[in-house]
Structures are given as C-alpha cells and as structure tokens.
Structure 1
Amino acid sequence: MPLFEELDCQNSPIGEISLRRRRIPAFGERYIYEVKLGDEFLMSSMFVAAEEALSSLGLAALEGGNLDVVVGGLGLGYTAVEALKDKRVNELLVVDFLETVIGWHKHELVPLGKILNSDSRNRYIHGSFFDLAVAPHTGFDPNQEGRRFDAILLDIDHSPTEFLDQSNAGFYTTENLGLMAQQLKPKGVFAMWSQNPPEPAFEALLKTVFSRIESHLVSFYNPFQNNQARNTVYVCHV
C-alpha cells in the first residue's frame, strides 16, 4: 500500500482541484482522502465530525417525515451520507459547482461514492448553489421549478466571512438569504457549517431572515495539533 497517491487533478472554473489519498502509519492502515484547490486544503477524511453534524443537527430540528433535503457542497460526501441515514428523508439533492467532484463520486474514486450511488433517494445536481439559492422561481430542482424543501444544508465556504471563491460573498445578505428561505417549506430549516466559532455579526444577519437560530459548537480531536478543535453549525428556522 503506497503512502501517497494523487487520484485525480483537473482544472476547474475556480482553479486546479485535486483528489489525493495517503496513509500515515501512526494513524493505522486506513487511507486518508484529501481535496485541494490549488495549494489550499479544502477537506480531509480525518476531520468529518462537523460535516456529519451539519446533517444530524439540521434534520433533528425538523418534525414529521417524507423530508425533501438539499445539500450545498458535495465535498467527500460525508454530509450527504449522514443525511441519508435519516430514514425520514424522501429525496436528497446534492448541489455542487464542480463537475469533477461529482465525477469522483459517480465513478467511486472516493469511498462514500458507492453509498451515494446505491441509494435511490440521492440525486446529484451540477450547478452553482449560490445561483440556484437566489432564484426561487426556478430553484434547486431542474425537474420541478419552484420546488420547496424541508431542509437546506450548506457546506461550501470556510465561514460566512472566508469564502471558497470571492464571488460567493454576495450571498450573505438579508435579501439573498431571504430568497433562499422562500425555497423552504413552512417550519423548514436552513443549516450551515463554519470552521470558526459563532460569529455575532452573522447571527444578527440570520435573525433578519429567520425566526429562530441556534449556533452549535462541534468539537473533535485534531491529532496533528494534539488538541480539541471546534467548528460551528448554525441551525435556522423559518
């Protein structure tokens, strides 16, 4: 078993994106999968607790069944797979701007691709989450204009103030969050991951659109720094 492999590397509209896997003998024989954009690390399978919590916390805030859910940002698939563990989910739309990332899952270059491909409730949507979010008359589902959802779960930017691409910054306004909220059903939920502690300015912004918000700290062990790291999951109710 090699210690390092680059599985794919392609140009994308926002820069060169690559998928790698490595083994670190101190952490055992398992492979660690990593996604990089240029020289920037986007995600590692070493740290997925908060991505999973985005789904578990977001969906736990919902009542009833037959849930229709949107996940913005595919990554390595952990948020999507965690959502599908909830048996109440009727259909999951996973929106990603990068066709390359969707291809990694469809062709099962990443471990969770097989799980997503084998679940008939899952559907990949190639498109810009941020463009679709602010167009409620057409919306996220290309097969059903104006469709509304029980939950929209977002994990794309590093935080509400640190963006994967600078063009995403315009999404974080009362007007655009309000357009996205129009795509939620009554009592629906918007949840979002951030790598940073809760940001009071962003919480205040969310309160201009949503009736109630909760900011959850998610802790996990970082073996590289030998400490507990913390991310945030914001859960917002219409």
Structure 2
Amino acid sequence: MEETVEHAEVARAETERGELVLRRRSRHGAPDVLELRVNGVFVMDTLETGSEIEMAALALDLVPDPRDVVVGGLGLGFTTQRVLADPRVERVTVVELEEPLIGWMRDGTVPHGPALMADRRLRVVNADISMAVAEARQRHDLLLLDVDNGPRYLVHGDNAGLYEQSFLEQCRAMLNPGGVLVVWAADEAPELADAVRRVFGDVTETAYDVLLQDRPETYHLYSAQVPSTP
C-alpha cells in the first residue's frame, strides 16, 4: 500500500514576481517537512539540504581566512547556517529579494529561523542580487549564489542574466584575491561552466546526488577561485 503524504499550507504571500507558498509535508512516523514553492514550482525543503550545506562547505575549504561572505538567496537558511558555523567567519551578508521569506525566517514561521537571524555577524538585505553585486563597493572572500534553479530551470525568467558572463565578471570584481564563487544549479549546465571558465580561467563542477521526495536527482555546484596573486 502506498504511504499517504499530507500537505498543509503554513504561509502564503503575493509579490510582484508571483506567489510564495510555505507548506508542511507530513508522513506517518516521520518528522514534518517544510517545503517552499514559488509560483507552484518546488524550490527547496527542510529534508534534503545537503547541496545547500555543501556549497558553503566547499567554498570555506578553499579559503584559509574567509572573514567576509556574501550569500545570494536566503532560502530556508541552510547555506547561511553552514557559513555561520565556521568560527573564522566575521561577517555574512545575505541578499534576498523576497521580503515575506525574510519575515517568515524572523518571526518563527520557519522554526529554525529566529536563532539563525539572531546571529550578530549576519546582515540580511532585501534586494536583487544583480543590483547588489553591480553596486558593491568593497570586496569579499566568498560569494555563494543560490538564487534560482539554474539556467535551465528558471523560476523567474529575469534571473537568466545571473548565469551569464557579464554578471559573472561583476562577481569576480567583488571578490578578494583568492576569493571563491560557487553557483548552485538543479541540473548540469555546461553553458554556465563555460561562462565561469571564461571569467575565472577555470571552473570545478561538483555533482551532488540527492533524494528529492523519494526520487533520485543530481544537483550541481560550479565553483571558481580568483588567483591569490596577480
């Protein structure tokens, strides 16, 4: 007999980009799972968080002194949580476009949110990451981008530019020597890899196997590092 999975809406918000829904997924004998959907498209949940954590861990391992980190996309906070778990990190700036999501993290609608948001090293900015990068006036050690589902599965068409060479050049310009960029994608994206390689001179693609609601999937992380010396 197939096991019944129940869904219950926890929060909903309408923005100029569409609909954000946070819902609870319940299965007998298993902990409840929170699931975030944007315009009906699954974005992430609190069960399969490995790739979000790994993108932070990968970058942190490459930089000896990662004091200043920028995260594009708050999501449900797991990338930021992993960054803040590193005692070397002194400042984390998260750029999140959707204000309701920030509110759900602050007010406990996402239960682990308030503890994360209370960290004094963390600053959350309600802004478009493309604008934040274009207007950056200082350099950072890590830039972690998990804003959409990658160039092949865009939730918002306007995000296509985040995977193109011109934006990646701006990303490189805001990184310190030895700084690292990591971009998350829901599927293999050779065009993204090529763009990163053109900008940084090299790229590393890391495949990450996940089990997404009992279905095997493979997510991809694209990372590159600015040379430590000119």
Q: Is the 8 A contact 1:81 1:115 kept in 2?
A: no
With structure 1 as the length reference, what TM-score do the two structures score? 0.87
Identical pairs, percent = 29
Rounded Cα–Cα distance in structure 1 between residues aligned with 2:157 and 2:98: 16
Q: Tell me if 1:14 matches 2:17.
A: yes
Q: Moved runs in structure 1, 4+ residues, more than 4 A?
A: none
Rounded Cα–Cα distance in structure 2 between residues aligned with 1:180 and 1:9: 32
Q: Is the 8 A contact 1:49 1:220 kept in 2?
A: yes
Rounded Cα–Cα distance in structure 1 between residues aligned with 2:107 and 2:212: 30
| RMSD, matched Cα | 1.6
Q: For 1:1-238, list aligned pairs within 5 A.
A: 4-26=7-29, 28=30, 30-65=31-66, 67-133=67-133, 135=134, 138-139=135-136, 146-197=137-188, 199-222=189-212, 224-225=214-215, 228-238=216-226
Q: 1:40 Cα shift? A: 1.5
Q: 1:88 Cα shift? A: 1.0
Q: 1:18 Cα shift? A: 1.1
With structure 2 as the length reference, what TM-score do the two structures score? 0.90
Match of 1:59, SS? helix
Rounded Cα–Cα distance in structure 2 between residues aligned with 1:161 and 1:169: 9
Q: 1:21 Cα shift? A: 1.3
Which sections of structure 1, spanning at least 5 residues, go unmatched?
Answer: 140-145
Q: 1:4 Cα shift? A: 4.1
Q: Is the 8 A contact 1:81 1:112 kept in 2?
A: no
Which sections of structure 2, spanning at least 5 residues, go unmatched?
Answer: 1-5
Aligned residues between the structures:
221
Q: Deviation per CA, 1:76-132, whole angstroms, max 9, x where unpaired?
A: 111110111111111111110000010011112113212312311111110001222
Q: Which amino acid aligns with 1:125?
A: V
34 and 151 in structure 1: CA distance in 2 versus 1, 3 angstrom threshold? same
Q: 1:172 Cα shift? A: 2.6
Q: 1:207 Cα shift? A: 1.0
Residue matched to 1:143: none
